[in-house]
Amino acid sequence: MLALFACEFAGAQDSIAIFKVVKSKTNFIVSPSNNVLWIGVDNRICIKTEGEGKIAKVEIAGATIAQMDSCYIIRATSGSGHEAILSVYELLPNGKSQLALNKKYNLVSLPVPEVLVCEVKSDSTIDKFSLMAIGKLTAKLKGTNEKLKVVSFEMQTGNQTAIDTLKSGNEKLTIEMKRVIDAMKPGSLILFNNIICRNAKGDLLPPMNVRIFLDEKKIYQYGF
């Protein structure tokens, strides 16, 4: 059995883990160094070598793997709580291969994005004054501290025969949106559709929708 030790540099998203194989002149560098694979998405993992050895093959149990350039794309489809084992084999001078390292990953469900309208969840009510005064959409990943940036959205109002659509190029209600809200009656439905968010890595997420009802209470007294 081969003895291994690993040095992990945590913190940055592109941190690496260096695995030194006893009786080998090669270091195997895996990045990122975390031990999590997100279920249902492409997980990009890069494996490089330092020294004389080369990679013979890379396998994974509990997920699928495909090579892309100098890295690998791993996809997991099983439920949260399961594990996957990444195995890297070193090519020996005699043409044979030997196991260089095993790295265990936890398979975790991807956090679900949630959009709030003036800190109010979808299918909730909000008074007209708060909606117009705060006038902003925010987003986050449920169960985490990661905030998402709202880059655009549409606001739809009206009835079954006529729908008015207004667009915003950021997270804030436009002046025209506030004018429309100001004229609406309590109990009216407002749809916020095609909400586009960007995560911390800069990736755009699929569009999301939220609906809000104007509060029946007549607490709007200050005008706009």
SS3 assignment for 67-112: EECCEEEEEECCCCCCEEEEEEEEECCCCCEEEEEEEEEEEECCCC
| Residue 64 near residue 74, CB atoms below 8 Å | yes
Q: Where exactly does CATH 2.60.40.10 map onto the chain?
A: 4-108
Task: Dump pLDDT digits (tens) for 141-171.
Answer: 987 788 999 999 999 998 767 889 999 999 9
Please tell me whether the overall predicted TM-score, pTM, comes out greater than 0.85 for this model.
Answer: no
| Residue 147 near residue 156, CB atoms below 8 Å | no
pLDDT at 14 over 70: no
First to last CA, the chain: 74
Q: What torsion do the CA atoms of 114, 115, 121, 127 make, to the nearest 10 degrees?
A: 170
Tokens standing for residue 135 = 């006038």
pLDDT at 179 over 90: yes
Q: Per CATH, which fold does 4-108 belong to?
A: Immunoglobulin-like (2.60.40)
Quickly list DSSP for 15-36.
Answer: --EEEEETT-SEEEEEES---E
Tell me phi and psi for residue 197, to 5 degrees: -120, 155
Task: Dump pLDDT digits (tens) for 90-148.
Answer: 998 888 999 988 999 999 888 889 999 999 999 999 999 999 999 999 999 987 788 99
